[in-house]
Chain A
């Protein structure tokens, strides 16, 4: 069994690596690369997670699973608050997001937060995609270490 912190250290270095190897004026590229890595991991992770689970009864049921089980497994806590407009937008609020808690409690280092949230956004998107829910996931920080993830379901 791996230690809980080992993922944090690995993730930290992955962000560092992607930044180091991407041209500094291409911030979007950094974000999208990290997001895609998160997406791939999310897809496979959910696969192993839900293999023996019963089928979900609704979209909301799936989102709740993300807020509880996925969050607990990955970040060792649950999402603090879930809101929805019942039209396919869900806002997951984490008041102490694990990957931000060591950084700041306030505004310091705010500008760096998006790089550390790209992989987690991808992780959610990949996980949901594997459960048949296509969506766009974005993150927003107003005061660290609190963070909101917005999941917009794409219906086509």
Chain B
């Protein structure tokens, strides 16, 4: 029995590895399936969106967080609660635009890219583009239309990873049928 215990591995660590490796296998499959990096980025964004609209419900249910008062509060919740809950990292929120409708999430350490090296012939690939889709999907579900893009990526030699989020408009509840 003593041998068994020496083999015990921290299950949390395995969750993390499993997730990172599965994501890596997905990107590898996409790179194989699609011609250009742009198309791969697009697919990752789309998949992220689909994940985001579900993930946000899970997040709201577990965190009990209510509707945000403003975009600054939204930014803080994404960074300090959302990223932390799901990825175990807390990006810093910075580079606010003067109008307060655009900010950056900065990460020194992106868990999706552990052990990843970008092949040289894929310089336009945004490996972690799924994150953009997740943020877009999640915010759309709480009635905020945003655009999200990668600005810097440590995989491409940048010092940190930067995701830019821009507020476009508030979405309203659907009007009841027959009312205009």
Contact = CB atoms under 8 A, between A and B. Distances in A.
Is chain B in direct contact with chain A in the complex (CB below 8 A)? Answer: yes
Interface of A: 1-7, 9-14, 16-17, 21, 33, 37, 40-41, 44-45, 48-50, 53-54, 65, 68-69, 72-74, 76
Contact of A69 (B7, B33, B50, B88): B7
Given A13-B50, A53-B6, A2 B28 contact: no
B29 A37 contact: yes
Interface in B23-65: 23-26, 28-29, 33, 43, 47, 50-51, 54-55, 58
B14 interface: yes
Interface in B1-18: 3-4, 6-9, 11-18
Contacts of B79: none
Contacts of A65: 7
B3 to A, nearest CB: 6
B19 interface: yes
A18 to B, nearest CB: 8
A100 B24 CA distance: 24
Contacts of B3: 54
Contact of B54 (A7, A9, A21): A9
A13 B54 CA distance: 10
Contacts of B58: 5, 9
Contacts of A2: 15-16, 19-20, 86-88, 111
Report the 3 A-B pairs with minimum CB-CB distance, sorted nearest first.
Answer: A73-B14, A1-B88, A53-B7
Nearest to B26: A14
A40 B20 CA distance: 12
Contact of B6 (A37, A45, A54): A54
A39 B21 CA distance: 11
B143 interface: no
A76 B18 CA distance: 12
5 contacts: A1-B13, A4-B15, A7-B19, A17-B26, A48-B17
A5 B24 CA distance: 17
A16 B87 CA distance: 22
B16 A1 contact: yes
B168 interface: no
Contacts of B25: 37, 40-41
A45 B17 contact: yes
B22 interface: yes
A147 B22 CA distance: 22
Interface string B56-98: 0010000000000000000000000000011110000000000
Nearest to B22: A41
Contact of B7 (A5, A17, A54): A54
Given A14-B26, A74-B18, 11 more contacts: A2-B87, A3-B86, A10-B22, A14-B22, A14-B47, A37-B29, A45-B17, A53-B7, A54-B3, A54-B7, A65-B7
Contacts of B111: 2
